[in-house]
Structure 1
Amino acid sequence: MTVQQDRAALFLAQTHEVENVGSEFQDVNLFSTDLALQEAVAREGAGWATQSLTAFGALTGSVEYLELGHLANKFGPEFDPQDRFGNRVDLAKYHPSYHQLMKSAIEHGIHAAPWSDPKPGAHVARAAHFYLQSQVEAGHGCPITMTFAAIPALRLQPDLAAVWEPKITSRIYDPRNVPIEQKQGVTIGMGMTEKQGGSDVRSNTTRAYPVGQGGPGQAYELVGHKFFLSAPMCDAFLVLAQAPGGLSCFLVPRWRPDGSKNPLQVLRLKRKMGNVSNASSEVEFRGALGWLIGQEGRGVRNIIEMVAMTRFDCMIGSSAGMRMATTLALHHCSQRAAFGKMLDQQPLMQNVLADLALESEAAVTLTMRMAHAMDHRATDEHEELMVRIATAVGKYWICKRTPNHAYEAMECIGGSGVMEDSPYPRLYREAPINAIWEGSGNVQCLDVLRAMQKTPEVVTAFFTELKKAKGGNAVLDGYVKALQQEFSDMSDMEFRARSVVDRMALALQASLLVRHAPAMVSDAFCAGRLTDVGQHNYGTLPKGVDAAGIIRRARGGC
């Protein structure tokens, strides 16, 4: 071959050099690079968990661990109603990556640590661990959350709790589909929603018939359906059904005490736009055996604490999604140049990146504040009142802000951001899930109004919390004063509920940032969210904001 031919072959094979592109985000400690989280953990009473969180941050940010999240969603669950011999098994099968994430979450106590080791700051430490874990993969967080949230409801029936709680709080993950007597660790799911009712669970039609005398802790047989039951591989489920005395709460296991399969039959796995790794199902109860928790007719009241906990975990999960989206956008924009400068050095992109970082920090700051409230609610009336009202406010606002946040972070990447071989589409599809699950936006706003009507003291507690930041920012002070006026006339409050809860959430986030964040963060948040200019799209922060400083902080000070 001649020299000219060699050169021609070389030119044909090598069309260009790959340059000015990003790189995979990996092998980064998700805790030690998150200053807002570190500060919140220390401030809210879990400084003792710093060493554990640092180690966990290294694990969750490792290339191997991040790959688990990718694989768990690439290879979603499959459903086998029967085994190869024709026996009914109702089995959801998962990729090994999903089981590894479940195992890790349980071994780190994310499913139960505040119950098994209820020391000061336990909820804060657990929330921080879950926040890191959820940045890797959101779907497996569903059974982790429900297992965590089941304990307060189960404790209303001490005889059932005595049997189940030790295995629920165990740090052993056992995914086998066998009776609990053969397992050292179990997980718990939940079934409330029916076709005809949705969030209106009082319209449920599933019936519960006492096997014997009936009453608390006694056996019933359930006949009916659930349009959503998550997650079907759990060992038991908290279920709402109509008993003779009204809507009641039952613990329904997958296996009967005699070792036979309980006739809780999975009809199908739901095809969701996001949360692909997790199996959600539609089921029918065909005489499924369950045990009554508490009194008949008190099902909503008995399960409400579980719902409060799952809603709080929605705040954690959405805050985690915001953090990962912000981190990925910052990572890319620090490596990509356009028009002669790195993206993160260009003023307009700095405005967008700083705005994304502000939203993320405000979300985690409010979330960790609520974790602190949960740690102290039993002994502090103010904290109990804050849990009652601010959980719904926070769940509504943070979860609702996440979808557009995910989209805007994706836009920072450009065309490559919408490619399915990148992490951004998964973040985007996941973003609306928490806003809808555990009560959509209207339900949360109505719950805020219900809390005000049932316990008027929550309004006083809310504004007492805001007053802790009084004098720290003039814009916030004026905003709080205007917000208080909204409560002077409650006549059409339901019609105005979304507008009012929007402002409650912004005021609460701003007050926490004014109290705890650097001035560059709190001043920018107040200027960008509370002024007449308003916050229509990300990247519209007013002039004078220290965008570069906010970006450095979001990167961990780098």
Structure 2
Amino acid sequence: MSELPPFATHRVENQPPPFAPRDLWRDDAALRDAVAREGGGDHVARLSAYAALAGDALYALSFDAHRDRPRLRSHDRYGQRIDLVEFHPNYHALMQAAIEHGVAGYSWHHGGAGAHVARAALSYLHHQVEPGTSCPLTMTHAALPVLRHAPALAEWARKAAAPHYDGRDLPMGDKAGVTLGMGMTEKQGGSDVRANQTVATPLSGDEYRLVGHKWFFSAPMSDGFLVLAQAPAGLSCFLLPRWRPDGSRNALRLMRLKDKLGDWSNASSEVEFEGAWAQRIGDEGRGVATIIEMVMLTRLDCMLGSAAEMRMALAQALHHARHRQTFGKHLVEHALMRNVLADLAIEAEAALQFSLRVARAVDRASLDAGEAAYARIATAVGKYWICKRAPAFVNEAQECLGGAGYVEESLLPRLYRQAPLNSIWEGSGNIQCLDVLRALAREPEAGHAVLNELRRHLGADAALDARIAELEPVLDGRVRIEEGQARHWVERLALAMQAGVLLDARSPCAEAFCRSRLGGAHGLAFGTLPGDVDYAAILQRALPE
């Protein structure tokens, strides 16, 4: 009788194979359909190439980039102030791949019809595998319209749009491409940026000296930053570079990096300006109006980011459920698990379809006043609702993996820590809902644009018809919503708008979405869909076998 080898106590079985490599374009029918429908069809080659890279090499790079957090080096070995942030090399590799493929600048250096839709899809693909780097990528992308307000900053705008990444700490003139960060929030103000106390003292022309602080200074390793400060005529917008035009280091002092719940691969900091040189953009006293173009674009990327987190969490859960066996059959074959997974798939597709519909509105805003008006409200609605749904969604996906979903190697804990961020960043949920009410009151054409979009779907679904009738008197200006009811009303509007885009997409999720989210055939938790939903069609669309 032969003896067992030492420690041979078990065999490894009933475990799913590795998730990656995966082709994130081939796997995502909803994304392919949405890109084509929203005007990005000419850019498919770019998207499919990046999706294959993201689902393979970038996915592998993301783990160490996330695990090895950035570190602040305030001084060099000789005691000189340098204010640098050090990253794992994988962070720079991820940034290089993203920028070279257009995640930050494709809308601007490519141009043409559908470029914003394609760039949105690139951002969605990138965020699925490494969300932390999305922060500097998003802000670099979103800063371009603001920079273009100042002809003197044309070189900054050109290099921010360029498909070149250079992570070295050098003056802008020595680089082929630059990245941008942002500093708006101060200790005493938070979202109330008009309470900012940083002082901007004029030097000559549009040059100023800034003294003050920022409580959240995003992506402090960037080459330049858009900041708000109080000039003599009021709150104004400035470009504050890391290096002064004369080649000396600017007087911005990184005080510490924030110890955050998630977003570990990205650095966020506190900063003080000790007479830092900055260049004004736009008129004095018009800082909020100047920087709002950036905020509109970053809010769209919050939607895309949350949709991407949902997508990756769903894909991980489906992959696990198709390979893991319990009680004699695969998890995905159990009726209750199929209900949960199908419910998640419906939610994830609704988030994606709505986000790319808003991207089309942004793409056409300069040519179509109706699309510009639609984007004005839809961006705030989507930023509120999609970002609000992500944490509960990711937690449900974790549960599909059981205890494995609580372990770092599964990726789900990273997504779970990341999920709350987009609902906080760029204005919390209350700010978004109040912004919707403000737009309805001050820009009635925005409400009419949304109502016209919804009316196209009248007759397609009885529950949606009833919801449109409920929303109509507010959207056309006859009724005003009280502030305390803003969340309730915006939620109901968001669901109607998502139903509309799913119907436009002719998605197999559309009917189930309307029945469950509008018609009341749903509970308060995921996995409470009606029993006669076509689960098989929804799951096959979500992730092909």
- Matched letter for residue 138 of structure 2: T
**Cα distance in structure 1, aligned partners of 2:297 and 2:174:** 29
Give the match's secondary structure for 2:228.
Answer: strand
Identify which of 524, 532, 543 aligns with 1:536: 524
- One-letter code aligned to 2:445: E
Asked if 1:332 corresponds to 2:320, the answer is yes
Q: 2:308 aligns with which of 298, 320, 324?
A: 320
Answering whether residue 215 of structure 2 is matched by residue 244 of structure 1, we say no
Q: What is the distance in 2 between the residues matched to 1:282 and 1:386?
A: 36
Q: Distance in 1 between matches of 2:139 and 2:65?
A: 19
From 412, 417, 423, give the equivalent of 1:429. 417
Give the one of 102, 105, 114 matched to 1:112: 105
Secondary structure of the corresponding residue to residue 181 of structure 2: strand
Aligned partners of 1:472 and 1:515 also within 8 Å: no
Matched, 1:266 2:257: no
For residues 46 and 229 of structure 2, the distance between their equivalents in structure 1, rounded to whole angstroms, comes to 41
Alignment of 1:39-118 (within 5 A): 39-62=33-56, 64-118=57-111
- Correspondence 1:235 to 2:223: yes
Q: Measure, in 2, the Cα distance between the counterparts of 1:13 and 1:292.
A: 69
Cα deviation digits, residues 480-538 of structure 1 (max 9, x gap): 112225567745521110000001100000011112133x3111111111123444110
Q: Does 1:516 align with 2:508?
A: no
From 161, 185, 193, the equivalent of 1:193 is: 185
Q: Tell me whether 1:171 sits opposite 2:163 in the alignment.
A: yes
Whole-angstrom CA distance in 2 between matches of 1:50 and 1:120 = 13
User: Does the 8 A contact of 1:529 with 1:535 survive in 2?
Assistant: no
Q: For each residue in 1:401-456, what CA deviation from the matched residue of structure 2 results, as whole angstroms up to 9, or x when unmatched? A: 00000000000000111012220100100000001000010000011111111101
**Secondary structure of 1:305's match?**
helix
Q: What does residue 147 of structure 1 align with?
A: 140
363-372 or 469-478: bigger deviation: 469-478
CA distance in 1, matches of 2:177, 2:415: 30
Structure 1 residue 391, shift from structure 2 partner: 0.2
- Is 1:13 matched with 2:7? yes
Distance 2:48 2:275 in 1: 48
TM-superposition CA deviations, 1:251-297 (whole Å, max 9, x none): 00011112111110000000111100000000000000000101100
Amino acid at match of 1:67: A
Shift of 1:21: 1.5
* Kept after mapping to 2: 8 A contact 1:249/1:303: yes
The answer for the alignment partner of 1:136 in structure 2 is 129
Which residue of 1 is the match for residue 274 of structure 2? 286
* C-alpha displacement of 1:51: 1.7
The residue number in structure 2 matching 1:210 is 202
Are the aligned partners of 2:437 and 2:481 in contact in 1 as well (CA < 8 Å)?
Answer: no
* Structure 2 CA distance for aligned equivalents of residues 492 and 105 of structure 1: 42
Q: TM-score, normalization: structure 2?
A: 0.98
**Structure 1 residue identity aligned to 2:505:** H
Where does structure 2 lack aligned partners over 5 or more consecutive residues? none
Distance 2:346 2:121 in 1: 18
Q: Does 1:276 align with 2:264?
A: yes
Other-structure match for 2:18: 24
Question: Is the 1:131–1:320 Cα contact (8 Å) retained in structure 2?
Answer: yes
Shift in CA distance, 492/366, structure 1 to aligned 2, threshold 3 Å? closer
Would you say 1:182 and 2:182 are equivalent positions?
A: no
In structure 2, C-alpha distance between the alignment counterparts of 1:482 and 1:374, rounded to whole Å? 27
Partner-residue secondary structure (3-state), 1:459: helix
Q: Take 1:280 and 1:385, find their aligned partners in 2: how far apart are those partners?
A: 33
Query: Secondary structure at the residue paired with 1:289?
Result: strand
Residue in structure 2 matched with residue 497 of structure 1 by the alignment? 486
Once the two structures are TM-superposed, the CA of residue 129 in structure 1 deviates from its matched residue by 1.1
**Equivalent pairs, count:** 544
1:33 aligns with 2:33: no
Structure 1 contact 31–53 (Cα < 8 Å) conserved: yes
Report percent identity of matched pairs.
Answer: 53
Runs of 4+ in 1 over 6 A off after TM superposition: none
Asked whether the equivalents of residues 521 and 529 of structure 2 are also in contact (C-alpha less than 8 Å), the reply is no
- The one-letter amino acid of 2:356's match is M
Provide closer, same or farther for how the CA distance between residues 489 and 223 of structure 1 changes in structure 2, counting only shifts above 3 A.
same
Output aligned runs, 1:361-510, within 5 Å. Answer: 361-485=349-473, 490=479, 492-510=481-499
1:352–1:538 Cα contact (<8 Å) kept: yes
How many Å separate the matches in 2 of 1:397 and 1:542?
23
Q: Deviations over 1:74-114 (max 9, x none)?
A: 11101100011111110000001100110011101111111
Q: Secondary structure at the match of 2:410?
A: coil
1:469·1:512 contact (CA, 8 Å) conserved in 2?
Answer: no
Alpha-carbon distance, 1:374 to partner: 0.9
Q: Report the 3-state secondary structure (helix = DSSP H, G, I; strand = E; otherwise coil) of the residue aligned with 1:334.
A: helix
Of stretches 65-74 and 137-146 in structure 1, the one that deviates more from structure 2 is: 65-74
TM-score, length-scaled by structure 1: 0.96
Report the Cα distance in structure 1 between the residues aligned to 2:413 and 2:245, rounded to whole angstroms. 44
2:509 is paired with a residue whose SS is helix
Unaligned residue ranges in structure 1 (runs of 5+): none
Contact 1:196 1:203 (8 Å CA) reproduced? yes
